[in-house]
Amino acid sequence: MVLNVVRQCQPCTACCDGWVQMNIRGAGVYPGCPCPHSTGKGCDDYANRPVDPCDNFNCGWIIPNSPLPDWMKPNEAKVMLLFNKLQWRGLPVDLAVPVGKRIPPRALNWLKQFAEKHGRPLLYTEQVVVNGKFQKDQQTIAYGPPEFQQEVMQKVAQGQRLWR
């Protein structure tokens, strides 16, 4: 018998703390600029949080039947994974965002092995820091087939958005 364990966010607040760029009722949330409702331990207006992006946010660690191991909880592994953030040639592409400047090697190695094993190209970001301050823009790295990497580099060079 397989039990479907329901994972709980708390005490993780990585999505609210600005590591994922979003807009909450007109307030920009990005690295160095957390949601104005984040207490660092939760949301001070949770009952009234917006459906988009808050309710619709799908952290890969908490989704039902997540393949991520327990140690990959974002506040512990220092990475958030968003499954199937976009498609490339019919394949799901996952997006990994660091909780901090960059994804730690243990977590990044696990993500790369998962991508290879399951044939899922991976995009991951690193924070850009200037004069000790996180910048809104992030550096994007593509992992997967050479054609995927080339297409991502071309889109980045042309200033195109890779995901919504």
111 touches 144 (CB < 8 A): no
Q: Which of 106, 109, 103 is nearest to 127 (CA)?
A: 103
Is residue 62 in some structural domain? yes
SS3 (DSSP) at 151:
helix
39 touches 17 (CB < 8 A): no
Give the whole-angstrom CA distance, residue 57 versus residue 1. 30
Is residue 140 in some structural domain? yes
Residue pLDDT, tens place only, 7-28: 888 888 898 888 888 889 899 9
State the total domains in the chain.
1
| Of 87 and 2, the one with more pLDDT | 87
Is residue 15 in some structural domain? no
Is residue 70 in some structural domain? yes
135 CB neighbour count, 10 Å cutoff: 14
Is residue 9 in some structural domain? no
What pLDDT was estimated at residue 46? 84
Residues above pLDDT 90, as percent of the chain: 58
The token duo for 158 is: 């042309």
146 touches 125 (CB < 8 A): no
Is residue 126 in some structural domain? yes
What pLDDT was estimated at residue 157? 92
Mean pLDDT across the chain:
91
Residue pLDDT, tens place only, 28-77: 998 888 999 988 888 888 888 888 888 888 899 999 999 999 999 999 99
| Banded pLDDT at 89 (limits 50, 70, 90) | very high
Residue range of the domain that includes 104: 22-157
Is residue 109 in some structural domain? yes
| Of 136 and 90, the one with more pLDDT | 90
Is residue 163 in some structural domain? no
